[in-house]
Amino acid sequence: MSNKTIFVACDASKIKKIKDIIVQTKNSKLKIIPKFGLQLFYSKNGRKFLEKFKGDFWLDLKINDIPQTALSAIDSLKDLKKCKYITVHANGGLDMLKAVKKYTKKINKNLKVLGVTILTSLNNKSLKEIGYTKNVQQLVLKQAELIKKSGCDGIVCSPQESKMIRKKFKNFLIITPGIRLPGDNLNDQARVMTPKDAFKNKVSGVVMGRSLTNGNIKLNVKKLIDHLSQ
């Protein structure tokens, strides 16, 4: 089971809470990597915390801008040597994706660039409201092709599209948010799946937030291990 990668969404602005999540989710039976997002990164002490962080982590910023601005953003992160994953959004276009991937090779050869597709909080109705004419699956597949073409290392998509993406791209990092333990509240997620079912779809790793970090964290981790062992 230690070959299953779990990215824990450390969504908090207080460093004490972040440290508590990291300590309590550590487990020898799973490969657990913290994922830090906008909430921590924008907080008063978040950037300093990341500078001093000792282990590998994922910085989930979903960079989405013109190529030069995206490159400037990446350049400003070059001191974060332990950052192993960074996210850029497919909506930034092919030129931006290619530019970011090319530049990251220069500043940190171990940094993997992940292209983000349609957020897991959106569904077909949401896409229509925004102005898209394709449905979720069509759009995610189109974005996945763009991400692959750009040379990025992997894709972030909902588990509901992961099987389709794996069939298309055999050797590609596929990481899926929108993961809930059986019976958990879906909250603001629209396209979800259990960890076990996601791994059946041959994903490379899953992102888990509230299912692990709400309430008793150690008990939640035990529930996850039991769930994956069934």
Q: What is the pLDDT of residue 227?
A: 94
Q: What is the pLDDT of residue 1?
A: 60
| pTM (predicted TM-score) | 0.93
Q: What is the pLDDT of residue 182?
A: 87
Q: Give percent of the chain with pLDDT exceeding 70.
A: 97
| Main-chain phi, psi angles of 114, to 5 degrees | -110, 130
Residue 185 pLDDT level (bands cut at 50, 70, 90):
confident
Q: What is the pLDDT of residue 120?
A: 87
> From the candidates 4, 62, 101, 112, which is the catalytic residue?
62
The rounded Cα 152 to chain-centroid distance in angstroms is: 14
Return the domain boundaries, the chain.
5-229
Q: Which fold has domain 5-229?
A: TIM Barrel (3.20.20)
Q: What is the pLDDT of residue 127?
A: 95
- Whether 62 is a known active-site residue: answer yes
Q: Is the pLDDT of residue 62 over 70?
A: yes
Tokens 């079912």 correspond to what residue? Answer: 197
The Cα 113–Cα 173 span in angstroms is 10
The Cα 209–Cα 214 span in angstroms is 8
- Token pair of 226 as six digits: 């039991």
Residue 67 pLDDT level (bands cut at 50, 70, 90):
very high
To the nearest whole number, what is the mean pLDDT of the chain? 94
Mean pLDDT confidence for 81-100: 97
Q: What is the pLDDT of residue 2?
A: 62
Residues ≥6 apart with Cβ < 8 Å to 216 = none
Q: Is the pLDDT of residue 189 over 80?
A: no
Over residues 91-131, the pLDDT tens digits come to: 999 999 999 999 999 999 899 999 999 998 899 999 999 99
The rounded Cα 194 to chain-centroid distance in angstroms is: 16
DSSP annotation of 111 reads: P
